[in-house]
Amino acid sequence: MAEGQSGAKTPADFLKSIKGKAVIVKLNSGVDYRGVLACLDGYMNIAMEQTEEYVNGQLKNKYGDCFIRGNNVLYISTVRQA
Amino acid sequence: MIAPKKQNLHGNPSQILPSELIDRCVGSKVWVVLRGDKEIEGTLRGFDVFVNMVLEDVTEYEITPEGRKVNHLDQILLNGNNIAVLVPGGKPEDS
Amino acid sequence: MAEEDNTVREPLDLIRLSLDEKVYVKLKGERELRGKLHAYDQHLNIILGDVEETVTTVEIDEETFEEIIKTNKRMVPYLFVRGDGVILVSPPLRS
């Protein structure tokens, strides 16, 4: 379907470009996870490292490694580097 | 998918497929209304068969009881699962 | 490739490496589980042993309108978790 997109950055390209980088993962529930993206798969299942869980902008939890089930993911965002 | 009937195409020469419409938006601003009280505006960089979308210079709007929360993000991959409406050209207030 | 491959190539590898270890599972509906991971599959159906279940509820005090957060804990010797309820799985901190 995406054959018309020459020079476009498809979701697959984006995912390749953010591996090993700091990301924010927002879930449908509104909870944010900030950490380093280890890897992900076609279901948007995500493995993250040094993960911090934010609820309403407040840090609630820290996980060394964590697995997020893809169906809960609203978006994956790059982190603006200061 | 059911192909549109020929006579319909003759009657409406401007008819395009939804996927073509999204393809035409690549490189320009789009306004995405999600299921639940969230909206996202940004420049569309690409999409896939599930209409997962890569968006740049993103503004996220969240409608809460306390008012509208706004959040800015550089680049995101938006899950196509929660998309309700996509408006080419961005939010109307901007133009 | 070796039988005991401890690299993480795909997200589910993280779960595979946590087999027979204590894991934390966050579920929909403000439920949390801590227990030993016996088995899982690609849907994230999970079997846990010696599980501590924590259920968090928020009640509003009818007079003061204050939020009262209650946590209920119980122990379950052995349980099956259906994958669609899973939000997050975290292995124990590797020291």
- What is the average pLDDT score of chain C? 89
C24–chain A Cβ distance below 8 A for any pair: yes
Mean residue pLDDT across chain B: 86
- pLDDT digit of tens for each residue in chain C (95 aa)? 445 677 778 999 999 999 999 999 999 999 999 999 999 999 999 999 999 999 999 888 888 888 888 999 999 999 999 999 999 999 876 54
pLDDT the model gives residue C2: 44
- The pLDDT value given to residue B10: 58
ipTM: 0.86
Shortest Cα distance, chain C CAs vs residue A2, angstroms: 25
A71 and C11 within 8 Å at the Cβ level: the answer is no
pLDDT band of residue A47 (cuts 50, 70, 90) is very high
Contacts of residue B73 in chain A, CB cutoff 8 Å?
24, 77-78, 80
Residue A15, chain B, CB below 8 Å: the answer is yes
Could you give the count of Cα atoms lying within 13 Å of B3 in the half-sphere of its Cβ?
4
CB pair distance less than 8 Å for C90 and A64:
yes
Interface A-C, measured as beta-carbon pairs within 8 A, has a size of 59
If you write DSSP's letter for every residue of C62-74 in order, what string do you get? TTT--EEEEEEEE
State the Cα angle at B76 between B58 and B57, rounded to 5°.
Answer: 25
B87 has a pLDDT exceeding 70: yes
User: Considering just the CA atoms, what is the radius of gyration of chain C in Å?
Assistant: 16
Q: Give pTM, 2 decimals.
A: 0.84
